[in-house]
Structure 1
Amino acid sequence: MTTLSSHDFDFLHGPWRVTHRRLRERLCGSDDWQSFDGSCSAHPVLGGQGIVDDNLLNLPDGSYHAVTLRAHDPQTGRWSIWWLDDRHPHRLDVPVVGSFDQGVGTFFADDELDGRAIRVRFRWTDTHTASPLWEQAFSIDAGATWEVNWTMCFHRQHTA
């Protein structure tokens, strides 16, 4: 049985311009942010139980392509989200897993960065607006404190 939560990411369907802002260095107390643009096009898959988006990220030192795959578990109402990019075509990132509550999506994973264990958090907000927001944060103390290190603001692209 499909639950309403299988439609949590419906807001993302279609083409977007994306404004990125990310820390140049992570988990070292840096406040040196880098801004760049990109694009994203998302569509449903898996009979509506998933969504995939194709991304272009235009970093100042070169562009790259990436794919986000999201799969919904109708039994738990939770989503799993994976990232794959063309800089590392043989590495699928550890999935972040979570759900939406009152329009805010929060997803977590345990991973590592430069050999250190970290907790990863993705958060989606403003999903009922024309400019939804995504942020990524890392924690080195099991989630007691978080460093937001990447934000993305989505702007709907209108097709002719």
Structure 2
Amino acid sequence: MPTPGSADIGPSAANDFDFFIGNWRVQHRRLKQRLLACQEWEAFEGSSAAQKVLGGQGNLDDNLLCMAEGAYRAVTLRSFDAASGLWSIWWLDGRHPGRLDVPVVGGFSDASGERIGLFYADDTLNGQAIRVRFLWTPRSELGQPRWEQAFSVDGGLSWESNWVMDFSRLDAAPGLEPCL
């Protein structure tokens, strides 16, 4: 069952993330401070390598984030629940290996003729209750998917987008591109 505020989620399938399987160069843009009316963005590069797991009912991507203060690794785990038709997505930051983020839950639907994925969770940031939204836009015609993260402090009435990742496919052998 979709989470509150996610009525726009349609039925999904285990192959929803097939567009993302492979190797990617990533262009990141992230707000320097979240939920503080900050307008200053930082840009950095990275790479990602995604593969199917769980017999095709999930996928995993290994990420290298090349930030100015130093590179770090992270993992995204996604699993599909065929009974509910929903995906769960977890983030594990290599800088905090004992802490798995609260999963966002949702799926894909066709909105305005374009297939998009919407995923939601309730979490906290600095002790404040927030709503989290992930937006996946496969942009299949371009072959350049986009992921966006946004937070809400009013239950989803308004959102602050705080992280955008634009992906470009790498033809190289499996593995992550080193930080330059």
Distance 2:153 2:172 in 1: 42
Distance 1:138 1:35 in 2: 19
Tell me, yes or no, if the aligned pair for 1:11 and 1:127 is still in contact at 8 Å: no
Residue aligning to 1:155: 168
Alignment of 1:30-109 (within 5 A): 30-102=38-110, 103-109=115-121
Write out per-residue CA displacement over residues 42-70 of structure 1, whole angstroms, 9 at most, x where no aligned residue: 00000000000000001111110000000
Structure 1 residue 159: Cα displacement:
2.5
Distance 1:30 1:85 in 2: 23
Gap runs ≥5 in structure 2: 1-10, 174-180
Structure (1 or 2) with the greater strand fraction: 1
Residues 1:141 and 2:149 are matched in the alignment = no
Structure 1 residue 4: Cα displacement:
6.6
Moved more, 67-76 or 120-129: 120-129
Task: Specify which structure has the bigger relative contact order, considering alpha-carbon pairs within 8 angstroms and separated by 6 or more residues.
Answer: 2
**RMSD of aligned alpha carbons:** 1.2
Cα distance change on mapping 1:4 and 1:26 into 2, 3 Å: closer
For 1:135, the aligned partner's letter is: E
Gap runs ≥5 in structure 1: none
For 2:121, the aligned partner's letter is: A
Q: Secondary structure at the match of 1:47?
A: helix
Moved more, 118-127 or 63-72: 118-127
Residues 1:114 and 2:122 are matched in the alignment = no
TM-score when normalising by structure 2: 0.85
Q: Secondary structure at the match of 2:13?
A: helix
Tell me which stretches of 4 or more aligned residues in structure 1 moved more than 4 Å: none
Aligned residues: percent identity? 57
